[in-house]
């Protein structure tokens, strides 16, 4: 068996074992890098570990550490309260507030924005007799709308990877295409479901307006956190400073101010995601060294119709992402598509934006991270019915999402020709 085929088989086993046994695919990636790199390619440890993305590691740790402060001290709830007051208590607009909040938070680097906003959104929907399924969908679509900003985890990951492989990143189109795509889907969901009563818990939440007033006044811990988040956004967006070092620096300042809060925020660092991304990228570097990327890309190109090959990749990404990590599949597909994209037969910016949509639009699946976090916050008495609705919606997204995303990739190519 050739080294290229061995690499592909090992990659397939990573996805199968990771999904079947619910194991972190990043850990499997490190083991695969050592096994294939050491035993097949006869590399020394420093060689098969050379693909470990140190800069991305710092960014992931810094972002999730900083947002750990905001999650722990209630700063996010303060922002939600301000938004409630902003719309003057108009309940019908609140699902869109939750959509926007989730989008902004994840765009600024709060990777688990759904975990932060979902409990607030579903509680509000339950208390005010709003369709809970519709509200949950808007939260997830909000997360997907903001997920690919230039300073988000997803955006930094993709743009850096393209740049390191000699392809010109298009951060604006990567951000705007998923944003507009998910905004359109959220609008359709809102129109279809907003007047339906939706699921009702057996015991409706009896919280009163006093719960909304719990965070009217800022605490001493929340003020520096909110200032830190604002400083992070300005320094990265306006001045282009490195997001990893900026977030770590701000988080350290907050930890010096309140050491106990710093220790608690460290527990919020998304180590599972850090391991996932760095492990998969480490193995992808071994794939590149073995020539597997060029080998697979040649097979894709042999289809003869570049846009058809792209469509097949998008559907593969969507189906696998519904059961596994969207970040992992995006990293793998971009790696396999690099030589394919270098040919110029498909527009790079359009392809990457469409791949981002195809691999994430299915994230309402209860088997994905966002879907699982949403389901975890649903009242137990309606969870089974909610689960069935999520499965149905995820199936619909798997069916139509990649195909619609393909249009995003195809249009720039048609215009160019």
The top-scoring range by mean pLDDT among 4-8, 193-197, 322-326 is 4-8
pLDDT of 198 reads: 60
pLDDT at 84 over 70: yes
The pLDDT mean for the chain works out to 83
Between residues 206 and 410, which one has the greater pLDDT? 410
Region of residue 42 (phi > 0: left; psi between -120 and 50: alpha; otherwise: beta) = left
Report the distance separating Cα 314 and Cα 306, nearest Å. 12
pLDDT value for 168? 86
Q: Is 90 exceeded by the pLDDT of residue 410?
A: no
Q: What is the pLDDT of residue 210?
A: 39
| pLDDT tens per residue, range 125-154 | 887 888 899 999 999 999 999 999 998 888
Provide the token pair at 47: 């060689």
pLDDT at residue number 31 = 95
Q: Give the range among 58-62, 104-108, 206-210, 365-369 with minimum mean pLDDT.
A: 206-210
Cβ neighbors of 196 (< 8 A, separation 6 or more) are: 131, 134
Stretch (H or E) spanning 411: helix 383-416
pLDDT band per the 50, 70, 90 thresholds, residue 202: very low
Q: Band of the pLDDT at 212, cuts 50, 70, 90?
A: low
Average pLDDT over residues 12-41: 90
Contact of 279 with 25, CB cutoff 8 Å: yes
Could you give the count of Cα atoms lying within 13 Å of 271 in the half-sphere of its Cβ? 5
> Would you say 226 and 236 are in contact if contact means Cβ atoms under 8 Å apart?
no
Distance CA 109, CA 112 (A): 9
Residue with token string 């470990």: 52
Q: In the prediction, which pLDDT does 38 show?
A: 94
Q: In which band, very low, low, confident or very high, does the pLDDT at 98 lie, cut at 50, 70 and 90? A: very high
Mean pLDDT of 144-167: 89
Residue 215 has what DSSP assignment?
Answer: G
Structure tokens belonging to residue 150 = 């230039």
Percent of the chain with pLDDT over 90: 32
352-to-154, 161, 265, 348, 368 alpha-carbon distances in Å: 12, 11, 33, 6, 21
Nearest Cα to 151, choosing from 174, 124, 123, 126?
Answer: 174
Judge whether residue 213 has pLDDT over 50: no
Report the pLDDT averaged over residues 31-50. Answer: 94
User: CA-CA distances (angstroms) from residue 203 to 136, 379, 389?
Assistant: 19, 9, 20
Q: What pLDDT band is residue 208 in, cutting at 50, 70 and 90?
A: very low
pLDDT-based confidence at residue 356 (cuts at 50, 70, 90):
very high
The encoded tokens of residue 183 equal 């905004």
- Checking if the pLDDT of 180 tops 80, the result is yes
pLDDT reported for residue 203: 46
Taking only the tens place, the pLDDT of each residue in 238-284 is 787 888 899 999 999 999 999 999 999 998 887 887 888 788 889 98
Interhelix angle 3-20/25-35, nearest 10 degrees: 150
pLDDT for the residue 367: 66
DSSP symbol at 219: P
Q: Predicted confidence band at 61 (pLDDT cuts at 50, 70, 90)?
A: confident
Residue of 394, 381, 228 whose CA lies nearest to 319 = 394
d(CA 108, CA 389): 30
199 vs 164, which has greater pLDDT? Answer: 164
pTM beyond 0.75: no
Q: What is the pLDDT of residue 238?
A: 76
Q: How far apart, in whole angstroms, are the C-alpha atoms of residue 171 and residue 74? A: 31
Q: How far is residue 323's CA from residue 401's CA, in Å, rounded to a whole number? A: 15
Question: Would you say residue 211 has pLDDT above 50?
Answer: no
What is the mean pLDDT of the segment spanning 370-393? 82
Mean pLDDT calculated for residue range 11-33: 88
The owner of tokens 């200032």 is 227
How many CA atoms, within 13 angstroms, populate the side-chain half-sphere of residue 192? 11
Q: State both tokens at 169.
A: 């990143």
């Amino acid at each position: 068996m050739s080294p290229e085929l061995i690499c592909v088989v090992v990659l397939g086993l990573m996805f199968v074992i990771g999904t079947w046994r619910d194991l972190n695919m990043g850990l499997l990636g490190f083991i695969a890098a050592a096994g294939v790199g050491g035993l097949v390619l006869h590399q020394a440890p420093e060689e098969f570990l050379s693909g470990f993305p140190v800069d991305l590691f710092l960014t992931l740790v810094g972002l999730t550490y900083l947002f750990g402060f905001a999650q722990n001290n209630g700063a996010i709830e303060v922002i939600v309260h301000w938004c409630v007051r902003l719309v003057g208590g108009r309940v019908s607009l609140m699902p869109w507030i939750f959509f926007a909040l989730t989008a902004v938070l994840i765009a600024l680097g709060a990777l688990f924005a759904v975990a932060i906003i979902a409990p607030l959104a579903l509680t509000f929907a339950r208390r005010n007799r709003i369709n809970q399924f519709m509200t949950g969908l808007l939260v997830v679509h909000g997360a997907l709308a903001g997920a690919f900003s230039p300073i988000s985890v997803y955006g930094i990951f993709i743009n850096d990877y393209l740049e390191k492989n000699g392809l010109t990143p298009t951060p604006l189109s990567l951000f705007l295409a998923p944003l507009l795509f998910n905004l359109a889907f959220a609008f359709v969901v809102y129109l279809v479901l907003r007047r339906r009563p939706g699921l009702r818990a057996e015991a409706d939440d009896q919280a009163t307006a006093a719960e909304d007033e719990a965070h009217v006044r800022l605490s001493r811990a929340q003020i520096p956190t909110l200032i830190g988040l604002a400083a992070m956004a300005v320094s990265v967006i306006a001045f282009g400073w490195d997001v990893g070092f900026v977030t770590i620096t701000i988080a350290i300042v907050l930890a010096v101010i309140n050491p106990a809060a710093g220790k608690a925020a460290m527990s919020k660092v998304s180590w599972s995601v850090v391991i996932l991304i760095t492990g998969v990228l480490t193995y992808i570097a071994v794939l590149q060294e073995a020539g597997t990327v060029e080998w697979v890309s040649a097979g894709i190109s042999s289809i003869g119709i570049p846009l058809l090959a792209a469509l097949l990749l998008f559907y593969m990404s969507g189906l696998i992402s519904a059961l596994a990590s969207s970040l992992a599949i995006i990293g793998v597909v971009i790696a396999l598509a690099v030589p394919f994209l270098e040919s110029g037969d498909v527009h790079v910016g359009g392809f990457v934006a469409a791949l981002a949509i195809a691999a994430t639009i299915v994230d309402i699946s209860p088997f994905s991270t966002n879907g699982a976090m949403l389901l975890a916050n649903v009242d137990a008495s309606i969870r089974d019915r909610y689960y069935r609705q999520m499965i149905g919606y995820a199936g619909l997204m798997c069916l139509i999402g990649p195909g619609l995303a393909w249009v995003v990739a195809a249009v720039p190519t048609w215009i160019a020709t």
